[in-house]
Amino acid sequence: MSSNPESVVALDAALRGQLADYARRHPEHAALADEFSTLLDDPENPFLRDRLAGHFTGSAWLVSADGARVLLTHHRKLNRWLQLGGHADGVRDLARVALTEAEEESGLAGLVLEDGAVLFDIDKHWIPERHDVPGHWHYDARYVVPAVGSEVFAISEESLALAWRDVADVANAAIETPDGDDSLPRMAKRWLAR
């Protein structure tokens, strides 16, 4: 976590640039990208999970070396299949958050971000109340992370299971996507259309 004001300004400017680039490439998400940019200006730090009005998270579209499969987690707390990812916890570089979460949750070594820090997808989704944490919004920035070495994963305490799934199956919603969540099929279709 950086407390240097110059680095905060530079990191926020970089994310704002990523969001503007994303909105140009995906005009159907321009309003959501603007909402993400506006959140950057909030006086209560949106990179901390205790900002319960909503906060940033980072996720990885972790694909196999051949691009045909994606590694998904059966999330322990949410009990649903999702891409790997998690809270920023004060880190303002969401691409770095996505990469770190991918490494920690998969056990895969040598992971890198594809194309530097180009946003692959953004999503705002509701996280239901759990124990002493009230329901809140996640503003999730998603980046492509290719598996360039071994694809043998290790299940972390965050997951009930991990599985490599065919991207085509995910695109056709052949996996459970509860509550009308269309983000996994959307990302799979976007990946296949590249």
User: Which tens digit of pLDDT belongs to each residue from 10-69?
Assistant: 999 999 999 999 999 999 999 999 999 999 999 999 999 999 999 999 999 999 999 999
Is residue 58 within 8 A of residue 105, CB to CB? The reply is: no
Is residue 40 within 8 A of residue 48, CB to CB? The reply is: no
Torsion, Cα 44 11 32 97, to 10 degrees, reads -90
The whole-angstrom distance between residue 22's C-alpha and the CA centroid of its chain comes to 14
88: exposed, middle or buried (Cβ count in 10 Å: 0-12, 13-18, 19+): buried
Q: What is the DSSP string of 83-99?
A: EEEEE-TT---HHHHHH
Q: In total, how many domains does the chain have?
A: 1
Which of 121, 122, 136, 129 minimizes the C-alpha distance to 191?
Answer: 121
State pLDDT tens for residues 69-99.
999 998 777 788 899 999 999 999 999 999 9
pLDDT at position 77 is 76
pLDDT at position 141 is 98
Query: What is the Cβ-side half-sphere exposure of residue 167, based on CA atoms within 13 angstroms?
Result: 19
Question: How confident is the prediction for the chain on average, in pLDDT?
Answer: 90
Q: Tell me the pTM.
A: 0.91
Residue-range definition of the domain harbouring residue 114: 5-192
Determine if residue 157 is left, alpha or beta; phi over 0 gives left, psi from -120 to 50 gives alpha, anything else beta. Answer: alpha
Task: Show the tokens assigned to 72.
Answer: 């998904």
- Give me the CATH number covering residue 54: 3.90.79.10
